[in-house]
Amino acid sequence: MTDKTGQCMCGAVTFSARDVPDHFSACHCEMCRRWSGSALLAVHVPLEGVTWKGEAHIRTLQTSDWAERAFCQRCGTPMYYHLTVDGYGPENYSIPLGVFDETTGMTMTLESFVDCKAGGLAYAENGREQVTRADTLATYGMTGD
């Protein structure tokens, strides 16, 4: 784990993150694809490990019963995904890989909603875990309804 920095496209929102893991995940669910333009490639960082600057420019949108997504209001850059309901998982920000200043050496270890991925999208195999929509939802005690 290392410390990393990042920012939105216009620079209005910056952050520093402590103890960032060297791995990331891909989510192929419909909402992540619409929000990010493809699969959401994200690093999961504990809430207390992230310091935001320019927070006045961060806007959030409750996008499901259990989660919100945040973006820079000036340039639209996605900044994080966050579970908002207790008991659904660890208290993390899922920060898009693309907003980090440096990602050298990071490896994808999980793909979720693999049965929902966009046509023609395939990543090189590296032995990562791949789970379906049903399995992903079951992990969090949710149903697809």
pLDDT in tens, 2-12: 999 999 999 99
- Per-residue model confidence (pLDDT) at position 89: 65
The CA-based dihedral angle spanning residues 111, 112, 113, 117, taken in that order and rounded to the nearest 10 degrees: -20
pLDDT in tens, the chain (145 residues): 799 999 999 999 999 999 999 999 999 999 999 999 999 999 999 999 999 999 999 999 999 888 899 999 999 999 999 988 876 666 899 999 999 999 999 999 999 999 998 887 778 777 888 888 998 888 777 765 4
The CA-based dihedral angle spanning residues 134, 140, 103, 125, taken in that order and rounded to the nearest 10 degrees: -30
Q: For residues 25 and 111, is the Cβ–Cβ distance under 8 A?
A: yes
Residue 25 pairs in a beta bridge with: 42, 110
Placement of tokens 């961060």 in the chain: 58
Report which residue type is found at 132: T
Q: For residues 9 and 75, is the Cβ–Cβ distance under 8 A?
A: yes
Query: CA 106 to CA 113: how far, in whole Å?
Result: 21
